[in-house]
A and B are shown apart, each in its own frame.
Chain A
Amino acid sequence: SAVISQKPSRDICQRGTSLTIQCQVDSQVTMMFWYRQQPGQSLTLIATANQGSEATYESGFVIDKFPISRPNLTFSTLTVSNMSPEDSSIYLCSAGTSGYSYNEQFFGPGTRLTVL
C-alpha cells in the first residue's frame, strides 16, 4: 500500500488566480493520477502523471488549465490556472503501484478548493 498526503487541505481563492496542489507519496510509485470531485458528484479523472513523460489528459481537460508536474517517483503537483467559481471542487491525488495491479489506487485526503 501507499500513504499519500496533499497540500493544502483546503483553500479559498479569488477568480483569475492559480493554485498549485502538492501530492506526496511515502514510497515510489509508477503512476499518479489527479481526479476532480465536484459537489455531489463522483470522481472524474483529470490526467495521469508518469515520471519522465508528459501527463496524459482526459477529454475535457487541457494542459493550459491544469498543468501537472511529476519530477520523481514520489511527488506530483497539479496547478489549477486562471480559476473561476466552476473550478470549486475537491481535487484528489492517487497513486498506482507497479505491475498488473496498478489499477489498485491509493488516494490522498483531497484538497477542497473554493473559488470566489
Chain B
Amino acid sequence: AQSVTQPDIHITVSEGASLELRCNYSYGATPYLFWYVQSPGQGLQLLLKYFSGDTLVQGIKGFEAEFKRSQSSFNLRKPSVHWSDAAEYFCAVGAMENYGGSQGNLIFGKGTKLSVKP
C-alpha cells in the first residue's frame, strides 16, 4: 500500500539557518510527489512537485526538493530560513493508477511543524 512517512514531527531552526525536512514514501511504481505548506489557520499551498525528469525540483519561496529513487525519499530543503516559513509542511504521494477506487488520490504524511527562532 502507498504510504508517506515524515519522521520529524517538529523541527526548530534559527532564522537564516538551512533547513531539510525529510519525507520517505512507499509505492511500487514511479510516484508523483508533492510538498505542501499549511500556515496557521490557512489551507494548503503547493510548494513544489515532482512528476518526472530532473530529480532536483525548484519550488516557490526558495524551496527545493530532491527525488532519490534508491532511498525512496523526497526531502525538502531551503538554504536560509525566514521567520515567515514557520508553518506545517506536508509531503504527499499520488499515482496515475486508479488506486483504492480514487483516481488522482493523494496520500499525505503526518506533517512536520517548523518553528523558526529569531
Contact surface of A with B, Cβ cutoff 8 Å: 4, 31, 33, 41-45, 47-48, 56, 58-59, 92, 94, 96, 100-110
20 contacts between A and B (CB under 8 A): A31-B104, A42-B90, A42-B108, A42-B109, A42-B110, A45-B102, A48-B104, A56-B102, A92-B43, A101-B51, A103-B34, A103-B94, A103-B95, A103-B106, A104-B32, A104-B34, A104-B49, A107-B36, A107-B43, A110-B42
A100 touches B96 (CB 8 A): yes
Q: Which residues of A contact B42 (CB under 8 A)?
A: 109-110
Q: Which residues of B contact A96 (CB under 8 A)?
A: 104
Q: Which residues of A contact B101 (CB under 8 A)?
A: 56, 58
Chain B interface residue count: which class? 20 to 34
Q: Which residues of B contact A31 (CB under 8 A)?
A: 103-104
Provide the main secondary structure of the chain A interface. Answer: strand
Task: Give 7 closest A-B pairs by Cβ, nearest first.
Answer: A103-B94, A109-B43, A107-B44, A107-B43, A42-B110, A42-B108, A43-B108
B43 touches A108 (CB 8 A): yes
Question: What would 15 more interface pairs be, CB under 8 Å, given A31-B104, A44-B108, A45-B102?
Answer: A42-B109, A45-B106, A47-B102, A48-B102, A48-B103, A102-B103, A103-B32, A103-B34, A103-B96, A104-B46, A105-B46, A107-B43, A107-B44, A109-B42, A109-B43
A13 to nearest B CB, angstroms?
Answer: 19
Q: Which residues of A contact B108 (CB under 8 A)?
A: 42-44
Q: Which residues of A contact B111 (CB under 8 A)?
A: 42
Chain A, Cβ-Cβ closest to B111: A42
